């Protein structure tokens, strides 16, 4: 066994001992040692391998796998531009606290800066957007280097999971791995392959650092990531006139902790889409905030913002209201230097552990009952949507999917459509968003990763541009695992979200279509056919409900054509209906 293949096998063996179960591989020559090692782990059943030809898609696939399991997934690339293609997913993982391991093969030091092919300066490429960046020593003397490789794996796992600081600080980790020729295993080791003996690598020399610890134990024992709300800190005081806002949070446990605090204090909640709900969550809470006259007459004394709200302008507007004390609860917010406060209005910041408390909870406060009654009036007024638009599609999907379904929401209009369209979220439906940076890239691949990581029904609700942006996510080879996944595409032929912004005003309508809406005219069903993915169209809510009420086998796409030109007017009508309901 040559040094390069030994180094790759020792590193991946240690990562699997620590808990890696999913490995995404992009083909390349310099990464051959890692490819052989990953393949052998797949054959032995110690990890599952996914091979993809597009590195950007591969990284988002790994992100989806990790986002659902909360266990780091590894993505392997060769050197050069392949590494740069990981960066969009790295940014999302950084801001959303998703554990991710980036294993990038590299040229050895003597081939950098001398004009060698596919050689660039890879160490430090991801800057401050990774929790840890290590360049491992080029393998040349495995018996003396193996302990350092295994220790580096432990450091990577710890940093990616937040094992020593908490799940709110999870995120991507970069290991840059230089390899010298030869890059392929010798014939004898290829034939022998990898055989498991108590989780160790039997074909290696019987030296502890190379073979690893007995019984498959990791080289370094690490603690489980600390509980979401661990720590002895003063709890947040009760204030009967508190309104809770729940924004983007790293995990479902973070969200349930926030909801539990609201229940104990009888406080009303405005919650952006996410897993878990409660009767104190206000139906159409974001629409209620748009009724500014009513809100001004019923302002909270304290606005407790948990996480990072991202879906609209009504919550930021509320934080700026005079007389409202804004307090922020942070899970760490790695992308916001400690806590999220985009309006610079926070008067206090609390660690997440401050949400912990005892007791079964108070009855809803008088303030809460006022807001709940108003929200019920809004829900009644918006109960019967007319026609088939984005919110109607989101509501139909939400209402029709089987119990325990997960729905990944695209990062543009559709996330807002579910927020607008669904008054009372089902407790057995679990919306998931990629709102770390809220980009439209990688959503198909993320959805596939989510679906591969869970045995229950999984859907994705995407706009047409979001779907097309990551159409390469459908490039899955015949030997690769394929999940059961339903992708619903709201096809308004372009980015109609811009119609709802200032650019959609009549005075700006001239260049609007070309420079913002950007229609493509793509035949989505034909595109899917080229990838061997079955696709159909639903033209009514009843057709859509019939198609999604039973999960299908494999990946399938349901296109729902809607008229994007009506989105701005529909939003205005909704605001008028809400205002009338509250008079």
- Are both 425 and 278 inside the same structural domain? no
Number of DSSP helices (H) and strands (E) in the chain, helices first: 21, 19
Say yes or no to pLDDT of 158 above 80. Answer: yes
Note whether residue 526 is domain-resident.
Answer: yes
For position 356, what pLDDT does the model report?
85
Mean per-residue pLDDT, 72-86:
98
User: Closest Cα partner for 306 from 250, 233, 359?
Assistant: 250
Mean per-residue pLDDT, 172-196:
76
User: Closest Cα partner for 519 from 478, 479, 468?
Assistant: 468
How many C-alpha atoms does 239 have within 13 Å on its Cβ side?
Answer: 16
Mean per-residue pLDDT, 429-440:
92
Percent of the chain with pLDDT over 70: 95
b/e map 436-473, b = 16+ CB within 10 Å: bbbbbbbbbbbbbbbbbbbeebbbbbbbbbbbbbbbbb
Q: What is the pLDDT of residues 508-562, one digit of tens each?
A: 878 888 888 899 999 999 999 999 999 999 999 999 999 999 888 999 999 999 9
Q: Report yes or no: 133 and 174 within 8 Å, Cβ to Cβ.
A: yes
Say yes or no to pLDDT of 191 above 80. Answer: no
- Are both 343 and 413 inside the same structural domain? no
Q: Among 378, 400, 416, where does a domain finish?
A: 378
Q: What is the pLDDT of residues 337-353, one digit of tens each?
A: 689 999 999 999 999 99
Mean per-residue pLDDT, 385-389:
81
Note whether residue 395 is domain-resident.
Answer: yes
Mean per-residue pLDDT, 209-231:
86
- Are both 33 and 180 inside the same structural domain? yes
Note whether residue 165 is domain-resident.
Answer: yes
The beta strand positions in 259-342, using DSSP E, are: 269-271, 302-306, 325-330
Mean per-residue pLDDT, 99-109:
97
**Rounded mean pLDDT of the chain?**
92
Mean per-residue pLDDT, 15-20:
98
Percent of the chain with pLDDT over 90: 77
For position 198, what pLDDT does the model report?
33
Q: What is the Cα–Cα distance from 559 to 411, expressed in whole angstroms? A: 18
Q: What is the pLDDT of residues 443-484, one digit of tens each?
A: 999 999 999 999 999 999 999 999 999 999 999 999 999 999
For position 231, what pLDDT does the model report?
67
For position 230, what pLDDT does the model report?
65
DSSP 418-486: HHHH-SS--TTEEEEE--SS--STTHHHHHHHHHHT-SS-EEEEEEHHHHHHTGGGG---TTS----EE
Note whether residue 222 is domain-resident.
Answer: no
- Are both 50 and 124 inside the same structural domain? yes
For position 510, what pLDDT does the model report?
86
Q: Among 325, 355, 378, where does a domain finish?
A: 378
What is the CATH number for 555? Answer: 3.40.50.970
- Are both 77 and 169 inside the same structural domain? yes
What is the CATH number for 328? Answer: 3.40.50.1220
For position 166, what pLDDT does the model report?
83
Q: Among 216, 233, 251, where does a domain finish?
A: 216
- Are both 409 and 374 inside the same structural domain? no
For position 528, what pLDDT does the model report?
98
Helix (H, G, I), strand (E, B) or coil at 551: coil
Say yes or no to pLDDT of 168 above 90. Answer: no
- Are both 411 and 351 inside the same structural domain? no
For position 207, what pLDDT does the model report?
43
Note whether residue 281 is domain-resident.
Answer: yes
Higher pLDDT, 319 or 1: 319
Higher pLDDT, 569 or 328: 328
Say yes or no to pLDDT of 187 above 60. Answer: yes
Note whether residue 197 is domain-resident.
Answer: yes
For position 512, what pLDDT does the model report?
83
- Are both 149 and 95 inside the same structural domain? yes
Note whether residue 384 is domain-resident.
Answer: no
- Are both 255 and 305 inside the same structural domain? yes
- Are both 366 and 404 inside the same structural domain? no
Say yes or no to pLDDT of 202 above 50. Answer: no
Query: How many domains does the chain contain in total?
Result: 3
Higher pLDDT, 193 or 289: 289
The answer to whether the peptide bond before residue 182 is cis (omega within 30 degrees of 0) is yes
Domain residue limits at 362: 242-378
Note whether residue 237 is domain-resident.
Answer: no
- Are both 372 and 403 inside the same structural domain? no
For position 284, what pLDDT does the model report?
93
- Are both 156 and 211 inside the same structural domain? yes
């Amino acid at each position: 066994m040559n040094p390069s293949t030994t180094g790759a096998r020792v590193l991946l063996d240690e990562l699997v001992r620590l808990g890696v179960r999913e490995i995404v591989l992009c083909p390349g020559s310099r990464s051959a040692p890692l490819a052989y090692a990953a393949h052998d782990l797949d054959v032995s059943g110690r990890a599952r391998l996914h091979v993809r030809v597009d590195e950007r898609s591969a990284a988002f696939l790994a992100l989806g796998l990790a986002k659902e399991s909360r266990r780091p997934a590894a993505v392997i690339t060769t050197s050069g531009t392949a590494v740069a293609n990981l960066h969009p997913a790295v940014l999302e993982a950084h801001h959303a606290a998703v554990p991710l391991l980036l294993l990038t093969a590299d040229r050895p030091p003597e081939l950098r800066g001398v004009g060698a092919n596919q050689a660039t300066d890879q160490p430090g490429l991801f800057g401050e957007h990774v929790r840890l960046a290590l360049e491992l020593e080029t393998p040349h003397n495995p018996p003396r280097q193996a302990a350092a490789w295994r220790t580096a794996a432990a450091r990577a796992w710890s940093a990616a999971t937040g094992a020593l600081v908490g799940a709110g600080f999870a995120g991507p980790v970069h290991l840059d791995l230089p390899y010298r020729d030869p890059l392929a295993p010798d014939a004898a080791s290829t034939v022998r392959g990898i055989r498991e003996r108590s989780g160790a690598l039997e074909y290696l020399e019987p030296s502890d650092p190379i073979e690893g610890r007995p019984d498959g134990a990791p080289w370094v024992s690490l603690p489980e990531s600390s509980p979401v709300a661990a720590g002895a800190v003063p709890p947040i005081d009760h204030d009967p006139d508190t309104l809770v806002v729940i924004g983007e949070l790293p995990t479902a446990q973070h969200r349930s902790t926030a909801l539990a605090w609201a229940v104990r204090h009888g406080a009303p909640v405005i919650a952006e889409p996410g897993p878990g709900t409660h009767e104190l969550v206000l139906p159409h809470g974001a629409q209620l905030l748009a009724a500014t006259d009513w809100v001004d007459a019923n302002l909270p004394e304290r606005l407790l913002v948990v996480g990072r709200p991202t879906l609209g302008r009504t919550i930021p507007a509320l934080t700026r209201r005079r007389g409202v004390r804004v307090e922020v609860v942070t899970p760490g917010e790695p992308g916001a230097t400690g806590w999220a406060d985009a309006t610079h209005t926070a008067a206090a910041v609390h660690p997440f552990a401050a949400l912990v408390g005892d007791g079964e909870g108070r009855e809803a406060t008088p303030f809460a009952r006022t807001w709940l009654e108003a929200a019920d009036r809004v829900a009644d007024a918006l109960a019967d949507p007319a026609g088939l638009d984005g919110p109607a599609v989101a509501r139909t999907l939400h209402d029709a999917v089987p119990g325990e379904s997960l729905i990944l929401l695209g990062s543009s209009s559709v996330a807002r459509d579910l927020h607008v369209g669904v008054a009372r979220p089902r407790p057995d439906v679990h919306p998931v968003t990629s709102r770390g940076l809220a980009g439209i890239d990688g959503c198909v691949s993320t959805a596939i990763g989510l679906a591969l990581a869970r045995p229950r029904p999984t859907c994705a609700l995407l706009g047409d541009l979001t779907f097309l942006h990551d159409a390469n996510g459908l490039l899955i080879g015949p030997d690769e695992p394929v999940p059961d996944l339903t992708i619903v595409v709201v096809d308004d032929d372009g980015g109609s979200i811009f119609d709802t912004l200032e650019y959609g005003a009549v005075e700006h309508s001239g260049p609007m279509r070309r420079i913002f809406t950007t229609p493509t005219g793509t035949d989505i069903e034909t595109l899917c056919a080229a990838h061997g993915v079955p696709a159909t169209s639903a033209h009514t809510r009843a057709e859509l409900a019939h198609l999604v009420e039973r999960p299908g086998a494999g990946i399938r796409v349901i296109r729902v054509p809607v008229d994007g030109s009506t989105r701005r007017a529909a939003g205005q009508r909704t605001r008028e209906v809400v205002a009338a309901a509250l008079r």
